[in-house]
């Protein structure tokens, strides 16, 4: 299995631009998670889905952030408009079932907003 | 509130020695803990987990100990190797079956050759 696939791996953009991060979970996994990692705040859960339905989005910073999972094999995290403080590494992870502690993480998308 | 904390931000050990990474938690209702490893430039990777009805669990070269009395968790790595150099996260699993994982700040393990 190829694992969780994220794109792009690196993105540099200017403040105010729209950013779309993409994730393909492991086939057969029912839960998908978006995390953000910064030096100051560590790893933060932004949102997670179970069977394509958002379960908990309490970690989404503000209305500029939105996430979708139109089908079991694809999810997007969108930031519009982006701000410098959004600069971070964004990780997508998937798990076989809800409630397990074993998540499989992608390699992350490093976002820099100038 | 809930918190998962590490006792030391950086641990340096000699190759071949055993490593012990400690973690404290504050929520008495915590019933499921997980250790993750993150190598530079990569995503976190699951190592081992333990439920509150156990006080010890062993994997390949790793052992997790849970002391519910003092709310303390530790990860022991036997015969530490250069490939073990990474950041180690003590992770708390949210109550119920929500699937929400709360990561601590992490301990950096440096293995000296």
DSSP letter for each residue of A52-110: TEEEE-TT--STTEEEEEEETTEEEEEESS--GGG-EEEEEEEESSTT-S--EE---EE
Query: Would the CB atoms of A99 and B102 count as touching at under 8 Å?
Result: no
Task: Dump pLDDT digits (tens) for A28-82.
Answer: 999 999 999 998 889 999 999 999 999 989 999 889 999 999 999 999 999 999 9
Q: Check if B37 contacts A (Cβ < 8 Å).
A: no
C-alpha A96/C-alpha A34 separation (Å) is 15
Minimal CA separation from A73 to chain B, in Å? 19
Interface test with A, best of B9, B35, B99, B105 (most A CBs within 10 A): B99
- For chain B, 113 residues long, the average pLDDT of each consecutive 10-residue run is 56 96 83 94 96 94 94 95 96 70 90 93
User: What's the pLDDT tens digit per position in A82-107?
Assistant: 999 999 999 999 999 888 899 999 99
Question: What pLDDT shows up at residue B2?
Answer: 40
């Amino acid at each position: 299995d190829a694992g969780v696939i994220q794109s792009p791996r690196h993105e540099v953009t200017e403040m105010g631009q729209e950013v779309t991060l993409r994730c393909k979970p492991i086939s057969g996994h029912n839960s998908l998670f978006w995390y953000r990692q910064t030096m100051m705040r560590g790893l933060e859960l932004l949102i997670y889905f179970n069977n394509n339905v958002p379960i908990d989005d309490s970690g989404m910073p503000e209305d500029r952030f939105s996430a979708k999972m139109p089908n079991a094999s694809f999810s997007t995290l969108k930031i519009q408009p982006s701000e410098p403080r959004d600069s971070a590494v964004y990780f997508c992870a998937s798990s076989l079932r809800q409630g397990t502690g074993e998540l499989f993480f992608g390699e992350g998308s490093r976002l820099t907003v100038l | 509130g809930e918190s998962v904390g590490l006792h030391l931000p950086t641990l340096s050990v000699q190759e071949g020695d055993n490593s012990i990474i400690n973690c404290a938690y504050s929520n008495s209702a915590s019933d499921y803990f997980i250790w993750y490893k993150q190598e530079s430039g990569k995503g976190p990777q699951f190592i081992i987990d333990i439920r509150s009805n156990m006080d010890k669990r062993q994997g390949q070269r790793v052992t997790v100990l849970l002391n519910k009395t003092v709310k303390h968790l530790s990860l022991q790595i036997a015969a530490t190797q250069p490939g073990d150099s990474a950041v180690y996260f003590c992770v708390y699993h949210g109550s119920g079956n929500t699937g929400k994982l709360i990561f601590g700040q992490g301990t950096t393990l440096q293995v000296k050759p």
